[in-house]
Every structure is written in C-alpha cells, then in structure tokens.
Amino acid sequence: MPENVAGPADSWWSDAVVYQIYPRSFADSDADGVGDLQGIIERLDYLAELGVDVLWLSPVYPSPHDDNGYDISDYQDIDPLFGTLADFDRLLAGVHERGMKLVMDLVVNHTSDEHSWFTASRDGGPGGPRRDWYVWRPPREGVQPGTPGAEPNNWGSFFSGPAWEYDEASGEYYLHLFSRKQPDLNWDNPEVRQAVYAMMRWWLDRGVDGFRMDVINLISKVPGLPDGPVHGAGRHGDGSAHYVCGPRVHDYLAEMHREVFAGRTRPLLTVGEMPGVTVDEARLFTDPARREVDMVFQFEHVGLDQGPGGKFDVRPLKLTDLKASLGRWQTGLGERGWNSLYFSNHDQPRVVSRFGDDSPAHRDRSAKLIATVLHLHRGTPYVYQGEELGMANAPFTSIDDFRDIESLNHHRDQLALGADETDVLEGLRQRGRDNARTPMQWDATEHGGFTTGTPWIAANPDHKHVNAEAQLADPDSVFHHYRRLIGLRHTEPAVTHGDFSLLHPDHERLYAFTRHHAASATELLVLANFGGDELTVELPDGWEHGDTLVTNVPDPSPLTGRVTLRPWEARVHRRRTA
Ligand code: GLC
C-alpha cells in the first residue's frame, strides 16, 4: 500500500493475480487426510509455473474447526493440523524466493468461543474485565430466558437459527452472526481494536505481505441493535441493515490503516470481504486517498442466480444480469476505486458447473471462456485452487457426503420445517460450499494425489481425467489457458489499465466488451459465446486488422465483418488506435 499514490492503477498490485489456497484441501504431506503447510511448500513450483503473484491462505491458525478455521482460538500460532510456526516461516521464505507474496486471512469480526479472549469474557461475567470485548445483552423482557423469542433482538445468523446464544451462568446472551462458536467481537471497544492491530503488526513484522479481511464490513453494529424485518415464514429477522457497512466501519478501517500499515514501505495488499457492499460504499473503501483498504470483494454478481428464498434457492443465471452487474462495478469504481475480480472461492460452488457447462463436451472450453471474460476485466483477478483446472461441483448424493456447518444446519432446519429432502439436497448440491472444498486434483491416483490417507472429504471421482498432472502436459489445457491469461496481465497494459465499455448489453448469449488504453494506443475486444450453439456476431467497425491475443478454440474463424463463434468460444482481439 504505497503512500501518496495518484490512483489505484499506479499501485504494485494493479497487474497482480492472486491465487487462493484453502489449506485443508490443497495438499496433505503427512497422510492424516487434511492438507498442511508442508504440502503447500511442496507445490510452490506449480504455483510459480502458473505465474500468479500473490498467494492468499485461508486460515491456518489454531481452531476448533467448527467453520473450518474461520473460528480462530489463537491468532498468533499455527494449528498443529497444518504444522508449526517454523513450517510457516519456511513456507513464507519459499514463496518469497519465487518472487511471490503471501497474504493471510484475517478473521476479526469474531473469534472462536474457545479463544482466551472469549472464555475470559464469558467466565468473568457481567462487569468482568473482558466482558465488553464481545456483544453481551440481557434477554428480552417478559420472555423466559433461554426459550425461543427471549433473544435480545430478532436477528438470524448466517448459519441458520438465531444470532444469539444464551449463557446460563450469567443469564445473558452473546451475539454471533455466524455459528454459536463464532462470537462477534465488540469493535466499539478500543481495547479490542488495539489487540487486533497488535496482532496484525506481529504478522507483518514476521514478513507476511498483507491480509484478506473476512466479513470486515460487518464489524460496526448500529447502537441499540434494532430488530430487522422478517421476510417469509421464518421467525428470525434480517438484521443486515444494522450491521452491513455500519456507522463506524470507515473510521475503524482508517484507524487500522494508521495503526498497522502507515509508514511501511514494503509493498502490501489488503482486500476486504464485504457482503452486501454497494458500488458507492466500495468507492469509499478503496479510494487510496482515504487509506482504508486496497480493494474489496463484493457479492452482487454471485447472488444473481439466487431466488428470494436465499442462497439455496437456485435460479438460472440471466447473462444480461451478470453483464449489467459487473459492468456497473467496472465503471462505478472509476479512477479512484479498484475491483477484485472473482467467480470462485471457498464459499462458492465451482464456476464451470455454475456459469459454464461441466458436461464432457463443453467443460474445458466453457471453463476457459469464463476465465477469459473474468481476466479481461479491470481489477485484480483471484484464482481459487482447482479453478485453473476447470474443477467442477461434486456428485454429492446424501447429506453424509457434506461437511460444511452451513449445509448441515440448513439441512437439519429445513427438514424440521417439513421441507422435502430431495429439494433440500438439490439446493445443497448446487450451492453448497463443500463443492469448492473437495481435494485439489493433482493426478489420476487415488484421492487425486491429495493424500495417501483418508481425505476429510471425498475427492471428486472425475480426478481420473481432470487433474494437474495431465493438464501440465497438455498445452491446450485449462491450466495453460489460465497461465496465458495471467501472463497477459503482466505484459499488456490495456488489460491492466484500459477503460471498460460493455457492448450488446441486451444480448442474452454474447458477452462482449472493449478495453481501450489511450497511453499505449491499444484497444482490446473480448467476445464470448455463453452457450452450446454457434453464434454469429457483427464486429464493430475497424476490427478487420486486429490480431488475436487469446482464443479457446484450435482454429478461430478469421476476423472479417462478421464472425461465427463456436459453442462456448471466447476470443480476445487487439488493435492499434493511434
Ligand atoms: C467469510 C468466509 C466464510 C466464513 C465466514 C465466517 O464469509 O469466507 O468461509 O464462514 O466469513 O467467518
């Protein structure tokens, strides 16, 4: 985060590509069925070959793993499941030796209920020294404490049920926006903020290159914690208006910047995960002059295929909606803001199954099309492990195949409400987070070469033909397509800096846009046929003399006044505009 930058496009990360590792599922070196730091160390050459600049590690801190490590019980150590601090230092050195950077996950909206901060807060009772580090409230008056409806307000948690847990010993409730084992910290308490900043400085001093900040726009709650509206049949209210981008969130992030990042000259990266953030808010968060964060993860485009019933209420995606949404973010952040570009992460289903076509006939080509579209936008692209192989959703058949607390709670609660299990499982199969968490597919051997033990979650059986070893050997693979796209971001200034213009916004199958970069007198044209039928497209004027930078078919048709795109064909052309 350089000081005094003119705009985000001047920052070191403007042409960087980030790769997300979900350590639990990446590579297991000690056969306990869970990935670990040594496993990552052994795969660093693979990541260097892909060409990414930054690795983001999902949490590796000590944790009871109620939410796979997003429930942290000690911020300044490594969970023995993953290794030791010494292993971490070796990993960091290996990353740096290869010219890459390492960004840690920072989960500070909440801790684990097994963190010593929380046990002290709970066990000290009302008035105790750490009580005010978390959000404690008395029961609602007139209702028997500990019974439904006695919670201090009506907010539901993201993982089903109320956002409050009753503590019998003190007769009070604590707030947890996520699981009951993830109590929310009270950011209005300056001691909490200082403890978090001290921990962040400790990691930076150790050599890490920044942080991905988990649900960081939820840290400031509206005082009084008012009830939220109740949608549909549930008894829980939607409290989001009272904690999404709450009243002091900008103050807290600016303070964090002053206390943790200011004055550090090493190139660092900060990205805030921000569910529900709007373009206008994101412009404020990412304006370099405000010194809050470098970029944000917004959620609009990954909610477009969701019905009013929430994330498991699956609707077909309308391409026009996706284009309109991403296009609005492209132009809306303007010169003073910066986008993170992602379709995939550990919370989202696999993108080739979601927005592409994972049938054998179209899988590779649609995976490459999706990558081409995303990587040609303006912003910093994020690749989630296995995405670069076109890994697909898992063939889960019963609830026993799932591991994720969100899916298990949803299944339990829906069945209790009388829902049909077939429907519930279908929603989980399409949207469940475990789709992203099946083992990384290294080769065609048992469990995809992820472990020689028993994996904590089953490998996708398609690893027999979809795996890194096969793709490294095939120059036409999805892997090599990603490698070329990543390379292009490093070499073609129009990819990094060009202005974005959406073409044909109302076309239901064609995703088309240009990137114009005046300084290098270059314009790029991206054309993508989102579907299994051919599509004929009239070219805008002046493109007959362009060259072809990227294609996902063996012999793309020549550039004439009109071109015919094959099923799931994507191409990028370039012309000089001098
Ligand atoms: C973020 C994480 C997700 C986690 C949640 C609670 O959304 O990405 O995996 O469950 O925060 O920490």
The CATH number covering residue 507 comes to 2.60.40.1180
Cβ atoms 458, 394 nearer than 8 A: yes
Helical (H) or strand (E) element with 381: strand 380-384
Nearest residue to 106 via CA among 56, 67, 146: 56
If you ran DSSP here, which 8-state letter would residue 13 be given? Answer: G
Please tell me whether residues 449 and 364 are part of one structural domain. Answer: yes
Classify residue 284: in a domain, yes or no.
yes
Among 243, 331, 264, which residue's Cα sits nearest to residue 515?
331
According to the model, what pLDDT value does residue 250 have?
A: 98
Q: Do 417 and 534 sit in the same domain of this protein? A: no
On whether both 163 and 282 belong to a single domain, the answer is no
Cα 17 from chain centroid (whole Å): 14
**What is the model's pLDDT at position 3?**
44
Spatial neighbors of 41 by CB under 8 A, at least 6 apart, are: 87, 90, 91, 94
Secondary structure of residue 181 in the 3-state scheme: coil
Distance CA(129)–CA(120), nearest Å, equals 8
Reply yes or no on whether 555 is catalytic. Answer: no
Q: Which residues contact 6 (CB under 8 A, 6 or more apart)?
A: none
378 half-sphere exposure, CB direction, 13 A CA radius: 28
CA of 151 to the centre of ligand 1 (A): 23
The CB of 178 under 6 Å from ligand 1? The reply is yes
Report the C-alpha gap between 160 and 404 in whole angstroms: 13
492 closest CA partner among 573, 552, 432: 573
Other Cβ atoms within 10 Å of 190 Cβ, number = 9
Q: How many CA atoms lie within 13 Å of 273's alpha carbon, on the beta-carbon side?
A: 18
Strand partners, 54: 18, 101
Task: Decide if 20 is inside a domain.
Answer: yes
Rounded to whole angstroms, the Cα distance separating 338 from 283 reads: 8
d(CA 451, CA 355): 30
Identity at 187, one-letter amino acid code: W
Residues 6+ apart with CB under 8 A from 134: 117, 118, 121, 122, 174, 175, 183, 184, 185, 186
Per the DSSP assignment, residues forming a β-bridge with 213 are: 106, 272
Distance CA 578, CA 575 (A): 9
The token pair that represents 182 in the structure block:
């993830």
Q: Which of 151, 209, 273, 404 is catalytic?
A: 273
| DSSP 3-state of 417 | coil
Nearest CA among 241, 248, 127, 129 for reference residue 193:
248
135 and 192 share one domain:
no
Torsion angle of C-alpha atoms 364, 370, 375, 377, degrees rounded to 10: 160
Q: Which residues pair with 380 in a beta bridge?
A: 340
State which of 482, 511, 530 marks the end of a domain: 482
User: Is 543 a member of any domain?
Assistant: yes
Total of domains in the chain: 3
Alpha-carbon torsion (383, 385, 390, 392), positive or negative = negative
Identify which of 72, 109, 111, 178 to mutate to test ligand 1's pocket (most ligand atoms within 8 A of the CB): 178
User: In this structure, is residue 308 part of a structural domain?
Assistant: yes
Question: What gap in Å lies between CA 560 and CA 58, rounded to an integer?
Answer: 47
Q: Is residue 180 in a domain?
A: no
Amino acid 475: pLDDT: 98
Residue at 232 is within a domain: no
Ligand 1 in reach of 347 Cβ (< 6 A): yes
Q: Do 532 and 468 sit in the same domain of this protein?
A: no
**Do residues 408 and 358 both lie within one domain?**
yes
Considering the domain architecture, whether residues 19 and 90 belong to the same structural domain is answered as yes
In terms of pTM, does the model score above 0.95?
A: yes
Ligand 1 centroid to 214 CA: how many Å? 6
Residues 195, 163 share a domain: no
Cα separation, 48 vs 416, whole angstroms: 48
**Is 214 annotated in the active site?**
yes
Atom of ligand 1 nearest to the CA of 406: 10
Are 157 and 292 in a shared domain?
no
Residue 159 CA, closest ligand 1 atom number? 10
The CA-based angle 355-334-292, given to 5 degrees, is 95
Do 17 and 121 reside in the same domain of the chain? no
pLDDT recorded at residue 6:
56
- Whether the CB of 67 sits within 6 Å of ligand 1: yes
C-alpha closest to that of 258 among 321, 309, 203, 193? 193
Q: How many A from CA of 23 to the centre of ligand 1? A: 15
2 within domain boundaries: no
Domain carrying residue 214: 8-109+186-224+237-482
CA pair distance 194, 308, nearest whole angstrom: 40
Write b or e for each residue in 105-134: b if 16 or more Cβ atoms lie within 10 A of its Cβ, otherwise e.
bbbbbbbbbbbebbeebbeeeeeeebbbbb
Distance (Å, rounded) from C-alpha 114 to C-alpha 388? Answer: 36
Query: What's the CA gap between 413 and 277, in Å, rounded?
Result: 28
- Tell whether 465 and 512 lie within a shared domain: no
Query: pLDDT under 70 in the chain at which residues?
Result: 1-6, 233
Residue 544 is assigned to a structural domain of this protein: yes
pLDDT at 4: 47
For ligand 1, the distance from its centroid to the CA atom of residue 70, given in whole angstroms, is: 6
Beta bridge partners of 513: 502, 526
Spatial separation of the C-alpha atoms in residues 28 and 468, rounded to whole Å: 15
* CA gap 555, 575 in Å, rounded: 20
Among 358, 377, 322, CA closest to 478: 358
- Same domain, yes or no, for 308 and 406? yes
DSSP class of residue 554 equals S
